[in-house]
Structure 1
Amino acid sequence: MLKLVALGFGQRALPSALSLGRSAIQQPTLCVSRTAYQQTFTRGIRDASNRGSFTRRVVNVRQVEEVQQSLKRKIGPMEVGQLAVCGGAVLGLGSLCYYGLGLANEPGAIDRAAVWPQYVRHRIRDTYMYFGASVAVAAGSAMAVFRSPAGHKFFAFCQRRPILSTVGIIAAMIGTGQAMMAVPYSPGLGTKQMLWLLNCGILGLVVAPVGALGGAIALRAAWYTAGIVGGLSTVAACAPSDQFLKWAGPLGIGLGGVLVASIGSMFVPATTTLGLSLYSISLYGGLLLFSAFLLYDTQKIIRKAETHPVSHNPYSGWSVAPFDPINASHHIVMDALNIFIRMAQILAMGGNRRK
């Protein structure tokens, strides 16, 4: 449920990312030319070589220190967040190489896949089929809303009533999501599948404002999100089965912190140090948090697919509720959408500039 709330407040930050841009959010930099220092130093060397003597031009030490100090860039909250994301990316690539090469002491899910029963394979297959279908339905819903006149009227209403619209969207996501997860699963097209489609449509409504950032940014954010989801899912599959399942407590605490920062960034101006820090936690901290949630939820899906009892046991005569791939896929859908929205915000602030 808290993931839905974080997604709703992350959606509210999209207009801010579009209007502020990179220059208004990041700390100002000091751009001082080194030409004067270079000319002085080069002229001294050239004069000494022309005279053919060991005469040295004395360089002003104070001038050198002033140039060095002016070239130092002040590290602010946004830069700290960027460094944290870079560190997380390096750690993720290292984990992919470590677990992918089989250097761990314990076998992972990919090692046990060869001896899985057929029903475990079907459960994981159905879960990721619903995951792909959820993403496709949400993307189609977002495009339909963004291109329709009614969608633009809804966006205008959201700008006039930001708090009311945010609360309404979050309530709609939570209501449809809880109703969907409460209905028992049965194969085919039934009540649960209809509620699933309705929930995906509302998620598309939440993602629709990304279109205002531009099609190129949305497409690049989608590709980056696909790379992150694919890479982290591979890490979770290659790692030992309980490696990331121990993160439930820290992830819950982190989710609460990101949620508080997201709410606070709506009321504290981004021009202040506190507002900039809250925005950095919501943006970069949220990106790291939901990437970690993806590791946790992936291993949780595998564990549940392996341990969930068979629906009907002919030897004991009892039956249990069947494995629910819709509920299992809902968690990684929320992780992917939260990552996508934050990637779009980063690119909108200038993260796509070539330097």
Structure 2
Amino acid sequence: MAAFVLRRPFALTSALKQLPKATTPAARAFHSSPVKQQLFSQRSSTPIATTVTKSRPTFQKAFRRYDSSLQGIPNPAASGTLGQRFLYGAAMVGGSVVALNLVFNREQREDGGMPPYERAYLNDTFLHTGLGLGIIGVAASALHRSGWSYRLMSANPWVVLGGGLVVSLGTMFGTFSTHPDNYVQKYALWAGFNVAQAAVLSPLLFLQPALLARAGLYTVAMMGSIAFVGATAKQEKYLYLGGPLLAGVALVAVSGFAPLVLPATAARTLMWSERIWLYGGLAVFGGFTLYDTQKILHHARLAERGQARKDVVNESISLELDFLNIFIRMVQILGMQQRRK
């Protein structure tokens, strides 16, 4: 469970920053992007409509990073006809699958393939993961249309952070501790966990739908290819990654703290801390996808031997966290590329 405690904050508030305050210096949680853009305005007597009008362009710029050395570089994925873009994306996905399979999957399973009980357990886990992400998407859209995103952005950011963490961690550990046979309580807590993610991430819907769709597609492609490697690789080959990945999460977390303790004049250090948070985070949570896939298959073998209980809901939460962390970073990367055109 320690892995979930360390990974949870990244998915909660990575997209939420603070607007500059009048009298207090800006502060940011360690899991937010090092880009010095802020999302929340201090609660005041300003009408919500005015606050939203001022906050929207700030939010849309939250994923922008100015880098003059990269200006003018063409983005082949953003040029050409729709068919050309589709072919380019398909080539990227196919190439990634082939490359990952060749590099990381040289030693494949020795049992001639995945047994039916492992396949069924893995499919059930993926089904619950997709259902959970669907709940997050639908709930976030409904909350956004109801005006929740506006109120969230005008609230005190530390209250949002604290409340989001308490609700998310509470529902997550409640789900973990509930026996799988207690269906009503299990699924109620799991649904509450997903709605909590939707409530905090709903301001992402201020961004362009096309950008969010591309980020989601790339995230699915990345996680799908990595999960394929984990499912077809030699049994328990990547379970040793648990410790190194926790160390990687700690490094990414420290890089998020850098803007809080380093002066603004340390531009080079802050730039590297941002890259560690962004690209290092992609590598770490991609590794967690590989580790979690093999962990799910390991639990399936234990359950088949009667040494553990089947709990696909708990398994799906780990994959949901991986997806959210990768998705948020994909959104930021695509937003940066869009500004370079």
TM-score category (smaller protein): 0.7 to 0.9
1:69 aligns to what? none
What stretches of structure 2 of length at least 5 have no aligned partner?
A: 17-31, 39-58, 72-93
Q: 1:98 to 1:342 in 2, by over 3 A?
A: closer
Identify which of 129, 132, 139 aligns with 1:131: 129
What stretches of structure 1 of length at least 5 have no aligned partner?
A: 32-88, 312-319
Deviation at 1:107, TM superposition (A): 1.7
Identify which of 52, 60, 81 aligns with 1:18: 60
Identify which of 140, 160, 167 aligns with 1:165: 160
2:26 aligns to what? none
Q: 1:270 to 1:92 in 2, by over 3 A?
A: farther
Which has more radius of gyration?
Answer: 1
Deviation at 1:182, TM superposition (A): 0.7
Distance (whole Å) between structure 2 residues aligned to residue 235 and residue 322 of structure 1: 25
Query: Contact 1:9–1:263 (CA<8 Å) still a contact in 2?
Result: no
Q: 1:214 to 1:106 in 2, by over 3 A?
A: closer
Identify which of 3, 8, 13 aligns with 1:4: 8
Deviation at 1:284, TM superposition (A): 1.3
Identify which of 255, 260, 270 aligns with 2:249: 255
Query: Contact 2:289–2:322 (CA<8 Å) still a contact in 1?
Result: yes
The aligned amino acid for 1:236 is G
2:317 aligns to what? 330
Matched, 1:94 2:99: yes
Q: Aligned runs of 1:219-238 on 2, under 5 Å?
A: 219-238=213-232
Q: 1:265 to 1:11 in 2, by over 3 A?
A: farther
Deviation at 1:19, TM superposition (A): 2.5
1:140 aligns to what? 138
Q: 1:130 to 1:275 in 2, by over 3 A?
A: same
Query: Contact 1:107–1:240 (CA<8 Å) still a contact in 2?
Result: yes
Distance (whole Å) between structure 2 residues aligned to residue 92 and residue 2 of structure 1: 28
Q: Aligned runs of 1:302-341 on 2, under 5 Å?
A: 302-309=297-304, 322-341=309-328
Q: 1:276 to 1:304 in 2, by over 3 A?
A: same
Q: Secondary structure at the match of 2:15?
A: helix
Q: Secondary structure at the match of 1:185?
A: coil
2:24 aligns to what? none
1:70 aligns to what? none
The TM-score with structure 2 as length reference comes to 0.72
Deviation at 1:163, TM superposition (A): 2.6
Query: Contact 2:167–2:196 (CA<8 Å) still a contact in 1?
Result: yes
Identify which of 51, 69, 75 aligns with 1:29: 69
Q: Secondary structure at the match of 1:308?
A: helix
Deviation at 1:204, TM superposition (A): 1.4
Query: Contact 1:5–1:259 (CA<8 Å) still a contact in 2?
Result: no
Deviation at 1:10, TM superposition (A): 1.8
Q: 1:112 to 1:354 in 2, by over 3 A?
A: same
> Which one has a larger percent helix, Structure 1 or Structure 2?
1
Deviation at 1:203, TM superposition (A): 1.2
Distance (whole Å) between structure 1 residues aligned to residue 65 and residue 130 of structure 2: 36
Q: Secondary structure at the match of 2:234?
A: coil
The aligned amino acid for 1:95 is L
Post-superposition Cα deviations, 1:70-126, rounded to whole Å, max 9, x if no partner, equal: xxxxxxxxxxxxxxxxxxx988752324567xxx344268x432xx2x544432222
Deviation at 1:310, TM superposition (A): 5.5
Query: Contact 2:168–2:197 (CA<8 Å) still a contact in 1?
Result: yes
1:107 aligns to what? 109
Q: Secondary structure at the match of 1:240?
A: coil
Post-superposition Cα deviations, 1:160-198, rounded to whole Å, max 9, x if no partner, equal: x223322221222111101111111127x4110110111
Deviation at 1:297, TM superposition (A): 0.5
The aligned amino acid for 1:180 is T
Query: Contact 1:210–1:341 (CA<8 Å) still a contact in 2?
Result: no
Distance (whole Å) between structure 2 residues aligned to residue 277 and residue 287 of structure 1: 15
Percentage identity across paired residues of the two chains: 28
Distance (whole Å) between structure 1 residues aligned to residue 118 and residue 214 of structure 2: 34
Q: 1:163 to 1:234 in 2, by over 3 A?
A: same
Distance (whole Å) between structure 2 residues aligned to residue 108 and residue 274 of structure 1: 47
Q: How many residues align?
A: 276
2:202 aligns to what? 208
Post-superposition Cα deviations, 1:246-281, rounded to whole Å, max 9, x if no partner, equal: 111110100111112223346657772232222221
Distance (whole Å) between structure 2 residues aligned to residue 150 and residue 20 of structure 1: 19
